[in-house]
Structure 1
Amino acid sequence: MLKTILFVSLLLSSFFSIAETVIVENPAALKATISKAKPGTILLLKDGTWNNAAIQLQGKGTAKAPIIIMPQTPGGVTFSGQSYIQIGGEYLIIKGFHFKNGYSPKREVISFRINNEVLANNCRVSNMVIENYSQPERFKADTWITLYGKNNRIDHSTFVNKLNSGPLIIAELDDERSQQNNHRIDSNYFKGRQRFGSNGGETIRIGVSRYSLTASRTQIVHNYFERCNGEVEIVSIKSGENNVSYNTFYECEGSLVLRHGSGNIVEGNFFIGNNKPFTGGVRVINPRQRVFNNVFYQLQGSNFRAPLALVNGVPNSLINRYYQVKDAVIEKNTFINSAEILFGAGKDAERTLGPENVSFKNNLILTQKNEVYTDVNNDKGIAFADNGLDDAFKGSTPAGFKKVKIKSIQIKGFNLPYDPQYGADIKKLPLIKKEATGATWYRPTVETPARLPKSFKVKAAQSAMIANLIKDALAGDTIILSDAGLYKMTAELTVNKPIIIMAAKNLKSRPVFVNASYKSLPAFISIENGGDLLVKGLAFKGTYESFSAADAGICSTDKPMNRPYLLTIDDCEFYDYNESTNSGFKASKSTLADSLVIINSIFHHMSGNGIDLSSEKDDKGMYNAEYNVVKNCTFTNLLGSAINIYRGGNDESTLGPFVNIDHCTFNEVENREQGTVVRLIGVQQAVITNSNFSYSGQGGRSIQFQEYRWDNILVDHCNFYESGKIESFYNKATGNYIYHIKPKYADPEKLNFQWPDNTLAANDKLSIGVIKQ
């Protein structure tokens, strides 16, 4: 052993005596030094924070003696502000750096080219970390790493939760020098990506539709994808002859998608859903794709997020649409307690060509459902042969399947079925764990709060204090309004951290926000980037005496915002908003609420909308809130809509919005010609139950949907008295319990719209409409 150590030490000493090692103090010194670097040169960047560093690394190493650029210690250099790296030349290795607290002013944080003339070939980016490095504006697109040239590698790096538009990694094929590139993306840890609420939330994209008939030959192997939920496509393959193998996809709300290009291989991957909703597997489009030896574990996605989805093609398809699935091989895969396999996903008036000459053989399926798969075409395009079903399967056995007794084996904590003839070769598959991926030096920062959350009481006469309290607050602090009087505001309150603003308990009436200035306020409270808000027991009065008005009670900011926010409104009142552009709550363009929860609240005497989430009018599939919950709320005497949620366009990359409206009352709302009380345009998941519509939407609609055929929408256990119709494109929204009975409200003049005699029972056995306010 001692001889071995001495030999290695002598070998390293010999190498470093030949190679030049240079310590670099700053970007200017790096620029001068890199221009003189020879094969084998090691450039050590001085540890510390390099702010606004524009780094261009151009040089020529060799395979045996690359030029290496790294910190003095791994992770010792943090690039912040508007820093970026551009790489050009041959055999450069860039490793061990940390990008944090900033964003790139360029299209990429790290680019494998200096410009159109100088590309990188045989270069490597390794052991890097990029986190908290998103554009401040959500829809300003960039990528964290873009591959150009050939034979480049991204490995053993950690990428944390990109927030803005654009894939995290792209391989470009925009000229011949970057095609048939043999890039390698391996051993990386992709730690999360929140739902983006629009197209452009992929984690990796290889190619683009314009060059999709070109081979890329990129290898995506041994990576760990954890909760990458940006959109339906986690990995988007838009080129040919790529290999996506031996990766782990853990609780990801999306799929590995063979979107364009042909001759791709998907082998040996683990898709672990743990029964989380919307978790997907592989989606197949285009000819000659091979999907084999993969494990699909407890995936619960459907349609495009099915464990396995083969998509219908478009006749004479344009290059950016859907080529027919032909000559595909789906074999030796194991499906464990997952949703149904879907053949013919997306079938509609355009996508009419079912998969053709697809071989589905030697797969193993364990399912507690009565159906193994759904084939919406039933045109014999799928050839089933020699597939195994768990002998506990209770449904009818389809042709090409037979029941077999399955044994199980333990693989890294998973009890997995194994059969030598059917399904994946579990014994030989490397189940990639996250500990084996990512930057070895990286340890996430755990922030310790300076103190525990506190509560601060404010009297009406101290209204001016509220802004300073919010400014100085720590996350989780509570501001309590202790009077039932008027809180006179002269400027909007801006919230950029999680806080609570609420009324003191046992007040006889709600504290009321009013505008006491001679300038209009965009809102009484505006949620900015980083802010979450819970308001409880408050009133927001739009006009007050002769002072200027407030345009909204609460809004999301019109400033740049990339983080989804949470807003809960409980037991609040919004009234006296006298312009058609006013709203109780209004979401601004380019902002996204992860959850908007409005409960036990009243919206009355307003000329605009009660709840307005309709600012995304570009018709590109974008929307303002993912989860929308409105329960036990009253809307009365509104000239505009009570609820207006908009998602325009036909983009299929997202799940939402989700809308749940329950036990609400709509009285004398939006009776103008062709008006709509509840407007849900493009909402993909909506349930309206136990609600009461009276004297509303008389010139048009009580509820309006503009849905696609696969959207899940339902209106049931609702009453419509002298109110407009329910309108939907496919006329499939209404359930079996729709009533037209005159309600008997307890005391409308005091805004009590309960229906106390329980004439109509809701599906939860309570009264239809509001329960108690």
Structure 2
Amino acid sequence: MKKLVTGIAMLLTGYAGFAADYFVKSEKEFTEADKHAIAGDNIIIANGSYAPWAVKSTANGSALRPIVIKAQDAGKVIFSGEVTQTIFKITGNYMHLQGLNFNNCILNKANGKNGLLIDLNNTKHSRITNCTFQKNSAKVQFMPLVIISGEGEHNQVDHCSFISNQDEQDLQVQINSPKFPTYTLINDNLFSDKYKVSWKVFNGGECVQIGQDPVLKGTAMAKATVRNNRFIRCNGEGEVISNKSSGNNYTNNYFEDCQGELVMRGGHDCVIDSNQIKGGTGGIRINGSGHVITNNTISGVRTGIRLMYGMSKGKTETGFYVAATNCVISNNHISKADVGILVGDNKNQDWTGKFDTNKYPSRVIQDIPPADNQFKNNNFTDTKQTIVYK
């Protein structure tokens, strides 16, 4: 039988090898439980409000017996207040975070550290599930609530709710080449009522961001999957989903009345399949090469699908924006739009002084047109102009 951990209520099933429950009420008790937890155990956080709170978990579960860090009762363990460290930093494998509530957290920077709610760092097969992130905000631009980081793989965020957050990024897969997470799965989450950012530069309010540097790291093959999520009234900025890496899959997501688009800001060889976009300012925006945009249903927007000009084309030339080339746009249904498909948006856009040309050795004029794209079996109803070339 496992030994009792001093200061922690630990319930055993009675036989060696069975799961143990560690019941904790403080950071100190959590850290002690984490030292002793083995595959199949549960670390149960007592109902209540916690502020501040910052812990690191290094425990490891197994494929059949993950370690679960969970609320005593789902939704009744609440983290709030100013956050200047990482509330949960998970570095072990086969770890699950379950049923936690992050409400009115204010992310900030202090003593060289960034406030962060959850970081799955170098983890494999770990999961964030059934958690709520509501009315959280950031004091500094480009701060995410949740990060998948490091050289991890097969991590998952599912059945979580991101509601009424502002001035932050909800969920970020961090691409720091050459080491970055692969095969991340983001599924069956709700993103809703995201407020417009207050920043002078209208940026940093994405719901989902896969990669951060499309210019120098856009070719990184993250191979993430974003599927079966709902995005309702997500108005943070122009990119509801921001893709900045390669080989990702966006399937069967639902967007309603969002002041933004599903955006391939950079990266290549992504699949955008069977998504539904209803109302809002736009549909799908494409930069990069080799994307497949198919079976999507888009209605009630100004422009259904936009293929953009760039400063370069292909996978080997450096450009702050890469022109949409060698993409397949097929079997999409676009209705009640001003323009169904726009081939060549942002023509001759001048970016002089708007980015660091020493860091990003790119031309500054967006004058490379979309090229070698295939348009097949797209259907348009009640649309003023079906396909427009600029």
**Bin of the TM-score, shorter chain as denominator length:** 0.7 to 0.9
1:161 CA drift (Å): 2.3
2:154 counterpart SS class: coil
1:229 CA drift (Å): 1.1
Corresponding residue number in structure 1 for 2:358: none
Corresponding residue number in structure 2 for 1:510: none
1:107 CA drift (Å): 4.1
**AA partner of residue 267 (structure 1):** D
Quick one: distance in 1 between partners of 2:178 and 2:68? 27
8 Å CA contact 1:81–1:102 kept in 2: the answer is yes
1:87 CA drift (Å): 0.8
1:176 CA drift (Å): 3.7
1:213 counterpart SS class: coil
1:194 CA drift (Å): 1.7
8 Å CA contact 1:150–1:177 kept in 2: the answer is no
2:73 counterpart SS class: coil
Corresponding residue number in structure 2 for 1:263: 269
Corresponding residue number in structure 2 for 1:242: 248
Corresponding residue number in structure 1 for 2:18: 18
Corresponding residue number in structure 2 for 1:122: 125
Give deviations 1:577-616, integer Å, cap 9, x for gaps: xxxxxxxxxxxxxxxxxxxxxxxxxxxxxxxxxxxxxxxx
Give deviations 1:545-573, integer Å, cap 9, x for gaps: xxxxxxxxxxxxxxxxxxxxxxxxxxxxx
Corresponding residue number in structure 1 for 2:311: 314
Quick one: distance in 1 between partners of 2:157 and 2:124? 12
Runs of 4+ in 1 over 3 A off after TM superposition: 13-17, 315-320
Corresponding residue number in structure 2 for 1:327: 326
Q: What's the TM-score once normalised by structure 2's chain length?
A: 0.84
2:366 counterpart SS class: coil
Corresponding residue number in structure 2 for 1:60: 60
2:30 counterpart SS class: helix
**AA partner of residue 29 (structure 1):** E
Quick one: distance in 1 between partners of 2:229 and 2:374? 28
Give deviations 1:183-211, integer Å, cap 9, x for gaps: 00111000121222511121111112231
2:206 alignment partner, one of 183, 202, 206? 202
Corresponding residue number in structure 2 for 1:145: 146
2:381 alignment partner, one of 366, 374, 378? 366
1:103 CA drift (Å): 2.2
1:143-292 aligned at under 5 Å gives the runs 143-148=144-149, 149-164=152-167, 166-179=168-181, 181-196=182-197, 198-208=202-212, 209=214, 210-273=216-279, 276=280, 279-292=281-294
| CA 1:258–1:14: 2 relative to 1, 3 Å | farther
Quick one: distance in 1 between partners of 2:348 and 2:321? 12
Corresponding residue number in structure 2 for 1:293: 295
1:140 CA drift (Å): 4.0
| CA 1:372–1:101: 2 relative to 1, 3 Å | closer
| CA 1:316–1:183: 2 relative to 1, 3 Å | closer
8 Å CA contact 1:144–1:168 kept in 2: the answer is yes
Quick one: distance in 2 between partners of 1:36 and 1:250? 46
Corresponding residue number in structure 2 for 1:108: 116
**AA partner of residue 183 (structure 1):** T
Quick one: distance in 2 between partners of 1:237 and 1:14? 49
1:247 CA drift (Å): 0.3
1:316 CA drift (Å): 7.1
Quick one: distance in 1 between partners of 2:266 and 2:189? 24
Quick one: distance in 1 between partners of 2:329 and 2:335? 16
Quick one: distance in 2 between partners of 1:182 and 1:315? 28
**AA partner of residue 366 (structure 1):** T
**AA partner of residue 310 (structure 1):** L
Quick one: distance in 1 between partners of 2:64 and 2:29? 26
8 Å CA contact 2:208–2:242 kept in 1: the answer is yes
Quick one: distance in 2 between partners of 1:81 and 1:140? 18
8 Å CA contact 1:53–1:82 kept in 2: the answer is no
Quick one: distance in 1 between partners of 2:33 and 2:319? 45
1:578-597 aligned at under 5 Å gives the runs none
| RMSD between aligned residues | 2.0
Corresponding residue number in structure 2 for 1:375: 389
8 Å CA contact 1:326–1:355 kept in 2: the answer is yes
1:714-725 aligned at under 5 Å gives the runs none
1:343 aligns with 2:343: yes
1:322 counterpart SS class: coil
Corresponding residue number in structure 1 for 2:43: 43
Quick one: distance in 1 between partners of 2:177 and 2:322? 23
**AA partner of residue 29 (structure 2):** A
**AA partner of residue 298 (structure 1):** G
1:225 counterpart SS class: strand
| CA 1:177–1:52: 2 relative to 1, 3 Å | same
**AA partner of residue 314 (structure 1):** M
1:92 CA drift (Å): 0.3
1:373 CA drift (Å): 2.4
Give deviations 1:733-768, integer Å, cap 9, x for gaps: xxxxxxxxxxxxxxxxxxxxxxxxxxxxxxxxxxxx
Quick one: distance in 2 between partners of 1:361 and 1:76? 51
Quick one: distance in 2 between partners of 1:223 and 1:299? 20
Quick one: distance in 2 between partners of 1:94 and 1:345? 42
Q: Which has the larger radius of gyration?
A: 1
Give deviations 1:371-423, integer Å, cap 9, x for gaps: 322211xxxxxxxxxxxxxxxxxxxxxxxxxxxxxxxxxxxxxxxxxxxxxxx
1:133 CA drift (Å): 2.0
8 Å CA contact 2:331–2:376 kept in 1: the answer is yes
1:41 CA drift (Å): 0.5
Give deviations 1:228-252, integer Å, cap 9, x for gaps: 1111111110000000110001111
Quick one: distance in 2 between partners of 1:140 and 1:177? 24
Quick one: distance in 2 between partners of 1:154 and 1:322? 29
8 Å CA contact 2:143–2:204 kept in 1: the answer is no
Give deviations 1:674-722, integer Å, cap 9, x for gaps: xxxxxxxxxxxxxxxxxxxxxxxxxxxxxxxxxxxxxxxxxxxxxxxxx
Choose between structure 1 and 2: higher strand proportion. 2
1:98 CA drift (Å): 0.4
Corresponding residue number in structure 2 for 1:356: 371
8 Å CA contact 1:103–1:109 kept in 2: the answer is no
2:91 counterpart SS class: strand
Quick one: distance in 2 between partners of 1:372 and 1:247? 24
Choose between structure 1 and 2: higher helix proportion. 1
1:89 counterpart SS class: coil
Corresponding residue number in structure 1 for 2:88: 85
Quick one: distance in 1 between partners of 2:79 and 2:20? 24
Q: What's the TM-score once normalised by structure 1's chain length?
A: 0.43
Give deviations 1:204-228, integer Å, cap 9, x for gaps: 1111223111111010000000111
Quick one: distance in 1 between partners of 2:389 and 2:69? 54
8 Å CA contact 2:338–2:383 kept in 1: the answer is no
Quick one: distance in 2 between partners of 1:14 and 1:262? 54
